[in-house]
Chain A
Amino acid sequence: MEQQKRMPRIIRENQILLIVMVLVFFLMSALNGQRFFALDNIASMAYQLPILGCLAMGMMVAMLSGGINLAIIATANFNGIVIALVLQQIMGPENMAAAPLSVSLLAIAIAFVFSMLVGVINGLFISLLKIPDILVTLGTMTIIAGLNVALTSGYTISGFPKEILALGNGHLFGIPSSLLIFIFGCAVCSLLLNRTQFGSSLYMMGSNPKAARFSNINIVKVSVQQYMLSSFFAVLTSLVMIGQLNSVKASYADSYLLVSILAGFLGNVNPFGGFGKVCGMVISVIILQFISSGLNLMSVDSFMITAMWGMIIVVVVVIKGSWPKIAQVLKEKKTQQG
């Protein structure tokens, strides 16, 4: 049947993406030379990648059912703010940093419960009332963002205990802990998507919710789990952000909202649902990080980086759109020669 040996699945499924990654890598290396390979650049990439990475992963989870979680960043900020408020409540407003480990853990746990609650509410609205995801999360985003502002009066709250800071800012065996958190998130997500009833159900529901329902998939349960998982990534993002910024605020990371959707699309997540893998997302986030770090080294404005991220999507869209034609031409050439 097929004479060619089949390539390993990871490569086969992400061909274009890997090519783009390599091209971007070479481009950035060519532009920056040594500096791009330098250990401190690689370290800083590893340090920066997790925020966008976690958000994008959470967005992917929502996109698997053809939806979008607009509330993800609001949830992440909310999570951080709840941690801060619990700490302040127990330790007193000026004394957050002195919180013992047990109090820190308690704060994280309470915030976690609240964030999961947000996921549950999103999932219930979407599945029970059959309202498009984008509208539900637009609503919850607005409410939570408002809540965030109201809870903090729009101010920054800073000065976290070192145990919490270590989660986003520390190192373990020389690896930034934020990267470890991201890897942990990816592993959990990958396990859930590929190895559990929930994962399989989610992919099937994403492709055809009606047929999934008629195959005894509990749509409400899957949606709720899905948005809880999405919120879980918001929690991880929040921990990383607290560690790196040592503060929380209602408006942190706002600019990442749309970018994380782009990352999903770049990572081969089908915007109509049903297809998308952790692996593609990781490559996609790495590409975006290469671009931003490379341009950063050239002291290019951060807005140019946003523009380049947009450009890369357009380029990938064009390549993908023309790929069948190119493949056709290549094939014909091959057969002519052979």
Chain B
Amino acid sequence: MLLKAEKITKRYGGVVALDQVDFDMVTGEIHGLVGVNGCGKSTLMKIIAGAEHQTAGKIYIDDVERAPYSPAEAMQYGIGIIYQDLSLFPNLSVYENIYLSKVIASGKKTISPKEFKAGIEEIVKSLGIELDLTANLGELPIAKQQLVAIIRALFNKSRLIILDEPTTALTGSEIANLFKILNSLKAQGISFIFISHKLPELLQVCDRITVFKDGHLINTFDNHQPLQQSEIERAMLGKEITYKKYPSTAGQDVVLKVSNLSLKNNFKDISFSLKKGEVLGIAGQLGSGRTELAMALFGAEPAQSGSIEVAGHQVSCSSIGKAVENGIAYVPEDRLNLGLVIDQSIRRNATLCSLRRLNTFAGLLDLNAYKELAANLMVELKVKFGRISNKISSLSGGNQQKVVLAKWLAIKPRILILDSPTVGIDVGAKSAIYETVHAKAQEGMAFLFISDELPELLSNCDRILVMGHGRIKEELATAGLTEAQLQEAIVRGGA
């Protein structure tokens, strides 16, 4: 047994993050870990990697019991971890990124530049990839950086590599390439713990899949017999999500008409129209240009050519201010960095977009209206919170996302762009968000709904635009469309 964890418990103050979890890894397997945010999977991963220490329980590595260890010791035991942010050094060369941690651990004082070259080149060759070792790491695309992180782990002689959400920043073909590499390393006896919230990927690449919920290990599924996604979902959420098909509320008037919109290195010749009350889906792999399109419509990264018409009038979206003036709002995918000001209060976040409207004639904010607005929004979106003056970080992911939605709904935009609005949030909040979207659509608000989750797109949208390589590839009506057909269209589109 490569690794065995017995009855691992981890407490933070009074909160139990992990409760008596048993977990094991064998040589040469890819083991998936899933669960909603805060389920305990990250905590277990950090304990295995030595970044945190368990409150109780034992860990055996190669059948030898190991007292709680440091990250450096974990490295000696052959355990490597690749965090979601990759933990590399953008200002150093690729070559240095690979060997630096090992050299530090070895206690050496000086570096001879050529020393590790042969060894590293060999690893690069064995993976069958092209990599310029002298390049500055920060100049490489994310996918290449990730390979550097993997090579670093291999160079450290890791036999167990933990990958935390490795595919979130990769395009379809990059993911395929990553899986190819993981499988070839697996054949050489390297094991991986693969943490992801994308179930189809886990099903594709993992030998076993373990599900966590509320600090408990719910079940470990063997993926050698074909598993159903719904089985895992049920274990993850305690209940299965049922996607109901929302009826179309699209009216006749075109509220947004985009013609030949282009931005170099982002997207090209985008044309479509959106009707009042319509929920229009945008599907496509990462790197297909869907987020870039949303950013352009929102004025964050304006397009270079083409035209945007809102309610029949040609408008300019050259800045966020102008886009919002024209009634376009955007809920970004990166909730923690772009959606929320995480250190500030719930009230401040909820009212952030409406400050201008709360101005009285003297240029001062109307404090009563300000408080009232925040309170009303909380009620309207059914946000569960302690005190409205608490930091928004005290809320669950789902409730945080409701606040992001609320701050835009408060200014009643004509068009609201939702970019992956339900990533990493619980079922309850998910369906609450769907309900809100459709209630607003009923009132005439139009939505652009970008998502990776196909059932979500099928249930919410009237039509779906499939993007690939920065262009709109297809337009599909959801009536009668199956998940498999949509998936096929996305793959056809490419990235």
Contact = CB atoms under 8 A, between A and B. Distances in A.
Contacts of B340: 208, 211
A210 B337 CA distance: 7
Contact of A203 (B330, B342, B344): B344
Given A195-B364, A195-B365, A218 B341 contact: no
A44 B342 CA distance: 44
A200 B364 contact: no
Contacts of A274: 341, 343-344
Contacts of B355: 197, 200-201
A201 B355 CA distance: 8
Interface in B326-348: 330, 332, 337-344, 348
B376 interface: no
Given A191-B364, A215-B407, A197 B344 contact: no
B338 A210 contact: yes
Interface string B346-379: 0010011101101100011101000000000000
B342 A197 contact: no
A202 B352 CA distance: 11
Contacts of A186: none
Given A197-B355, A197-B358, A200-B355, A211 B320 contact: no
Interface in A200-219: 200-201, 203-204, 207-208, 210-218
A207 B330 contact: no
B324 interface: yes
A239 to B, nearest CB: 24
Given A214-B300, A215-B407, A216-B321, A207 B343 contact: yes
B326 to A, nearest CB: 12
Interface string A255-293: 000000000000000000011000000000000000000
Query: Interface size for chain A: under 10, 10 to 19, 20 to 34, or 35 or more residues?
Result: 20 to 34
A207 B341 CA distance: 6
A191 B365 CA distance: 10
Contacts of A207: 341-344
Nearest to A218: B321
Interface residues of B, number: 28
A311 to B, nearest CB: 30
A196 interface: yes
Query: Of residues B321, B343, B364, which shows the largest number of chain A Cβ atoms within 10 Å of its Cβ?
Result: B343
Contacts of A203: 344, 348
Query: Of residues A195, A203, A274, which shows the largest number of chain B Cβ atoms within 10 Å of its Cβ?
Result: A195
Contacts of B338: 210-211, 214
Contacts of B341: 204, 207-208, 211-212, 274
Contact of A208 (B324, B332, B343, B367): B343
Interface in B76-111: none
B337 A211 contact: yes
B330 A196 contact: no
B348 A217 contact: no
A197 B359 contact: yes
A204 B352 contact: yes
Contact of A214 (B320, B351, B356, B386): B320
A30 to B, nearest CB: 39
Contact of A216 (B320, B332, B364, B367): B320
Contacts of B339: 211, 214
Interface string B8-43: 000000000000000000000000000000000000
Contact of B353 (A195, A196, A215, A218): A215
Contact of B344 (A204, A210, A213, A214): A204
Contact of B356 (A197, A208, A275): A197
Contacts of A191: 364
Contacts of A275: 343
Nearest to B295: A214
Interface in A170-222: 191, 195-197, 200-201, 203-204, 207-208, 210-218
A197 B365 contact: yes
A200 B348 contact: yes
Query: Of residues A1, A212, A216, A275, which shows the largest number of chain B Cβ atoms within 10 Å of its Cβ?
Result: A216
A217 B359 CA distance: 14
Nearest to A270: B343
Contact of A200 (B300, B321, B365): B365
Contacts of A201: 355
A125 to B, nearest CB: 19
Nearest to B340: A211
Nearest to A1: B386
Nearest to B407: A215
Nearest to B335: A211
Contacts of A218: 321
Interface of A: 1, 191, 195-197, 200-201, 203-204, 207-208, 210-218, 274-275
8 contacts: A197-B365, A204-B348, A207-B344, A208-B340, A211-B340, A212-B352, A214-B330, A215-B407
Which 3 pairs across A and B sit closest by C-beta, in order of nearness? A197-B355, A208-B341, A215-B352
Given A195-B364, A197-B358, A218-B321, 14 more contacts: A195-B367, A197-B365, A200-B348, A200-B355, A203-B344, A208-B341, A208-B342, A208-B343, A211-B338, A211-B341, A212-B341, A214-B320, A216-B321, A217-B352
